[in-house]
Chains A and B, each alone.
Chain A
Amino acid sequence: MTAAITIYVPRETAAISMGANDVAETFASCIKDKADSIKLVRNGSWGATGLEPLVEISNGNERIAYGNVTPSDVEGLLQAHLAGEGHPRRLGPTNKIPYLIKQDRWTFHRCGLIDGLSVEDYRAHGGFAGLEKALSIGAPAIIEEVKTSGLRGRGGAGFPAGIKWQTVADTAADQKYIACNADEGDSGTFSDRMLMEGDPFTLIEGMVIAGLAVGANRGFIYLRSEYPLARKILSSALQIARTNNLLGNNILGSDFSFDIELHIGGGSYVCGEETAMLESLEGKAGMIRFKPPLPAIEGLFGKPTVVNNVVTLGSIPNILRLGGNRYAKLGVNRSKGTLAFQLAGNIKNGGLVEKAFGVTLRELIYEWGGGTASGRDVKAVQIGGPLGAYFPASKLDTPLDYEAFIQQGGMIGHGGIVVFDDTVDMAEQARFAMEFCAIESCGKCTPCRIGSVRGVEVIDRVIAGTDRTNNLALLDELCDTMVDGSLCAMGGMTPFPVRSALQEFPQDFESSGGEK
């Protein structure tokens, strides 16, 4: 029989890091004698991380949310709920939580709603409708639909997905591949992880559609090793997909066959760069490749390869299901659709906010984020990961739009927004940008490998006040060399956080001891 009451406790890294597994265990022991009437489901996270562990109790019609639940709350909370009484942790209906209602959920529309490993739940909420549509319209029409949507690569570079797919489709080869970049290494980003943990079938479905569109029958997911739970969930999801004919031969009864291999990284940031990732997928050190040739022409094992990020591929099923036009109606200018923004660092209500492009940093940080966690003023915001520029509070009205950000000397990247309060020392942050580049450089090109090491040294001298004017000029030249001479974004963009810190917060670089 169907249980009358369902309790949802997220199985998601952030929720678990705040105690969700202990909460789930406590619920399980509370209801063990009531298995007929109450069941426990581990769903994905809604992304309102500031409320985790966010527990929901459903009677089948309405889901009532309880925020920041601890194991000691569980018994009383359950009793109060069943008796129809209030509880201090009660937030009300999930679909009325302010953090969630004002979003434009496209890619994450099922994340939090369902048990990510339930094919039935997935199908009941629109799953596989995109693939069925794709199978019926065929490859050229799929690519047209993706082009119409205006979807750009969500990994950071923002390259139009439809054009990339077209290139791979147009390149004749005996073998083609789909390579999903799940090496989400940028600090302040976790949208790939949340999607893989909360709705893994959407990624699988997106990859199958990509394979169908370009004529590839093999796919790879390159997942970073720092995500053990995503690995576990993805492994299960791939297995379940195979047993349900969503992967393997003759998918959903069609003549199309496709399978996916899950690869785990070795803890290297640069492997998130697409060509380094391909090298790693080939079993080698993650040294980046020269471009051209583009991976779309000569990618994995020298074959045409679609390299797309998790969120890009995860956005595809709904683009097929609901139409590219509908996606393109969201957003502004050349930034169509939605981005899953991630509020991180010193922020009161951190988490994931999927919103159409055009929303401003200020809206995200204050309306959703509630300002800093420390309650102090925002001093700097780093957008787009460790290679992204630091914005001062005066730039918070910049709309989230790829081109508007480039105009301001920044980049949206993968949508991570890291907030710092007024206690941050921006010279220390600039130094860290160079230090991180020195640690993670693949070593192939000199500006990145050596430039980053010299960068740390020069910044140290600036901070110490040693020959300041000349060292600042040297740092500027070094940044030029790295920007112009590096082979990939690692060395080529490390100067962005460094220069923005210098430009916007020069006072932080003034030595207390003065010029020496």
Chain B
Amino acid sequence: MTQRLPFDEKTARDLISLTGAEPRMLVQILRVFVENFGFVNDDMIRLLASELNLSRAEVHGVVSFYHDFRTSPPGQHVVKICQAEACQAMGSRALTDHAKQSLGIDMHATTEDGAVTLEPVYCLGNCACSPAVMINDNVYGKVDANTFDTLISKHAGQTS
């Protein structure tokens, strides 16, 4: 499970100054925000615009460009299944279908209990052990339907 902080301006300001309060650090600050708060919201965008002397539109443009900078809170566990060619060659399409079915959600969605968010990823660099799955920051190789279910219950304490 990933520990996330509730957003407050003081913490956010500290994170900005720790990372570097310069426009060139915007991508890095957004990363730190996502890692600490779980996502980027309008309050953070407003704060970043004023702290870095950028327009809100400029900050928003950067946020919306990158896949990692989600704008709504994810589930407790983020499960990413590689969708790229090496994993396709080893059955990632079938694994993805299984994951959707067993979790009862589509890609980019979160289970109703808030436990798991399912996301596509294009290469984890684990292409000699395909198909690969990342749960939070942990990478797993040669994952089939059974090991997927085991991993989900190990991390999220549930099988479906």
Contacts and interface: CB of A to CB of B under 8 A. Distances in A.
A345 B62 contact: no
B127 A189 contact: yes
A268 B65 contact: yes
B65 A416 contact: no
Nearest to A283: B26
Interface in B1-51: 22-28, 30-31
B122 A184 contact: no
A17 B86 contact: no
Given A17-B126, A280-B27, A440-B122, A429 B68 contact: no
B121 interface: yes
Contacts of B69: 266
Given A189-B127, A264-B28, A285-B62, A225 B68 contact: yes
A338 interface: no
Interface string A426-444: 0001001000100110100
Interface residues of B, number: 41
Nearest to B64: A285
A188 B129 contact: no
Contact of B121 (A190, A226, A420): A226
A345 B90 contact: yes
B23 A187 contact: no
A263 interface: yes
B86 A344 contact: yes
Contacts of B125: 13, 184, 189-190, 192-193, 226-227
Contacts of B31: 225, 264, 266
Contact of B89 (A16, A301, A419): A419
A188 B89 CA distance: 10
B90 A185 contact: no
Contacts of A343: 128
A287 B122 CA distance: 19
A346 B89 contact: yes
Contacts of A285: 61-62, 65-66
A304 interface: no
B89 to A, nearest CB: 4
Contacts, number: 153
Contacts of B62: 283-285
B113 interface: no
B66 A267 contact: yes
A50 interface: yes
Nearest to B31: A264
B65 A190 contact: no
Contacts of B67: 266-268
Nearest to B54: A283
Contact of A283 (B25, B121, B139): B25
A200 interface: no
A253 to B, nearest CB: 30
Given A17-B132, A268-B65, A416 B126 contact: no
A4 interface: no
A263 B26 CA distance: 11
Interface in A18-62: 18, 49-50, 52
Contacts of B88: 345, 424, 429, 432
Nearest to B23: A283
A117 interface: no
B23 to A, nearest CB: 5
A192 B127 CA distance: 13
Interface string A484-512: 00000000000000000000000000000
A347 B90 CA distance: 9
B86 A187 contact: yes
A220 to B, nearest CB: 10
Contacts of B84: 187-188, 386, 436
B66 A266 contact: yes
Contact of A17 (B61, B89, B123, B129): B129
Interface string A391-428: 00000000000000000000000001011110010000
A460 B126 CA distance: 30
Given A187-B123, A225-B31, A386-B85, A266 B129 contact: no
Contact of B66 (A187, A268, A342): A268
B122 A228 contact: no
A197 B134 CA distance: 18
Interface in B51-103: 61-62, 65-69, 82, 84-90
A145 interface: no
A49 B128 contact: yes
Interface string B133-145: 0100101111000
Given A225-B68, A266-B65, A418-B86, A344 B27 contact: no
B127 A266 contact: no
B128 A16 contact: no
A226 B123 contact: yes
A382 interface: yes
Interface string A335-371: 0000000111111001110000000000000000000
Given A17-B140, A263-B27, A346 B90 contact: yes
21 contacts: A13-B126, A17-B141, A18-B141, A184-B125, A188-B84, A226-B134, A227-B125, A266-B69, A267-B68, A281-B24, A283-B28, A286-B65, A344-B86, A344-B128, A344-B130, A345-B86, A345-B88, A345-B127, A345-B130, A351-B128, A424-B88
Q: Which 8 A-B pairs have the closest CB atoms?
A: A350-B128, A266-B66, A187-B84, A344-B127, A345-B89, A17-B141, A285-B65, A283-B26
Interface of B: 22-28, 30-31, 61-62, 65-69, 82, 84-90, 121-130, 132, 134, 137, 139-142
